[in-house]
Amino acid sequence: MEIVPLGDSALIVRVRKNFDGAPDEALNAVLATRRLLENAHLPGVIELAPAYTTVGVFFDPVRVVASGAKPDEVFEWLAERIREVILNANEVRADRMETSPIQIPVCYDAEFALDLDEIAQHAGLGAQGRRVVPLLEKKFPSAQSRSAERRPEFIRYSRRAAGI
């Protein structure tokens, strides 16, 4: 475990070095560490932010000093408390998060593209033989040149078409 500063009011607790080899194990270790830190009610900690292999610990330095840290040793004081919490845990238990791939079937047949004409017209495209593919291949202008409303409306229509 590694604890490093992140600015003057946060630190990062690195729970795992790598996410790629065993993502489920990394996720469960991060969530278990976050739960340990939540239950510890460390003085001055205002937010815990789990990520792939780390937990971000955001704190109020004034409250940490009020709890006994020297003003020039806030990071070290809090890091030591975090180490104690993690090392003194008899058994790190967390709700295991099971993951599995999600398959989303896609069909490009015209009979299932009920609102293709409406979406194509809104996006400034022709239905082109009632094929969905040209609509999906649409290249949008750069963020600087496109209007603010165009893409969000396109997404809204696409979500409606998908039944979302």
Separation between Cα atoms, residue 19 and residue 7, nearest integer Å: 24
20-36 residue pLDDT tens: 888 888 888 999 999 99
- Which among 15, 17, 20 has a CA at the least distance from the CA of 1? 15
> How far is C-alpha 10 from the geometric centre of its chain's CA atoms?
18
The confidence score (pLDDT) of residue 96 equals 57
- Which among 122, 86, 114 has a CA at the least distance from the CA of 1? 86
The confidence score (pLDDT) of residue 95 equals 52
Burial of 94 (0-12, 13-18, 19+ CB in 10 A): middle
pTM given for the model: 0.56
Reported as half-sphere exposure (CB side, CA atoms, 13 A), residue 24 has a value of: 7
